[in-house]
Amino acid sequence: MSERLRDPRQRAERAKRILDVAADLLLLHGYRRVTIDDVAARAGIGKGTVYLHWKTREQLFGAVLTREVGSAIDQVRQVLADDPQACRLHRFARAYFLAIASRPLLLGFLLTDPELLGKLTGSPDREERHVKMARGYLELLAEHGLLRDDLDVDQLGYAYQATFEGFLRAEGGAPEDGREQRADLLGGTVLRAFESEAAPSDAALRDLATAVAALLGDVVDADRTEAGIPDPSGDG
């Protein structure tokens, strides 16, 4: 059989297998010790076959990271679908914290050196997408009166991001036992520091949750397409 599979579904399945193997190896050995040869050998394919999907080691491992981020965001989107209250900043922070912290590979990536992270997620388009998504989310909250009004969106976004990242960094090496309590502590901190006392209607929260989920979905879809990651739904 030719290495260049003509069937898009078979090609997607092979790409998924490569990503699965790369993720397992990265979790076991770390970024600096895993090579394309290692991934190909574990996947039972030729090294050149890996390069049919990703042209460099950085692109492959960047795709692994992108898939991990997408899975975490998908988890948050499910939380939003189950409970529209999760669109509020403190509930969103709690859900996203748990989604990241429960993924050792993703947490490890985020806690590693910034230079490496930049190499793996270095697309200017990707960076712009995520900045716009984060700002768009905060603007939606502000429009609904859910944020304190003595800080502009950029100021509040900076302070919130610093708070969130601080909790994530403290999670490095922390035991899994107690993670829910630490997520609660993050949520309480965000609530007291950044939110208003507004109480929107259930209908308004449902609309807001739908809009936030759409923002997240657009970013994840664009990231996956750019990184050459198969659709997790299996539709190609």
Residue 120, pLDDT > 50, answer yes
| The Cα angle at residue 147 between residues 151 and 83, in degrees rounded to 5 | 155
Predicted confidence at residue 233, as pLDDT, reads 64
Mean pLDDT of the chain: 92
Is residue 40 pLDDT above 50, yes or no?
yes
3-17, 55-69, 115-129, range with greatest mean pLDDT: 55-69
* pLDDT for the residue 236: 46
pLDDT tens for each residue of 154-212: 999 999 999 999 999 999 888 889 999 999 999 999 999 999 999 999 999 999 999 99
The string of pLDDT tens digits covering residues 215-233 is 999 999 999 999 999 877 6
3: confidence class by pLDDT, cuts 50, 70, 90:
low
Q: Using a cut of 0.85, tell me whether the model's pTM lies above it.
A: yes
**Alpha-helix runs per DSSP H in the chain:** 8-29, 36-43, 47-53, 57-82, 89-101, 104-111, 114-120, 124-143, 153-171, 179-194, 202-227
Specify the DSSP class assigned to residue 124.
H
Which has the minimum average pLDDT: 19-33, 54-68, 116-130? 116-130
Listed residue (71, 5, 53, 48) closest to 228, CA to CA: 53
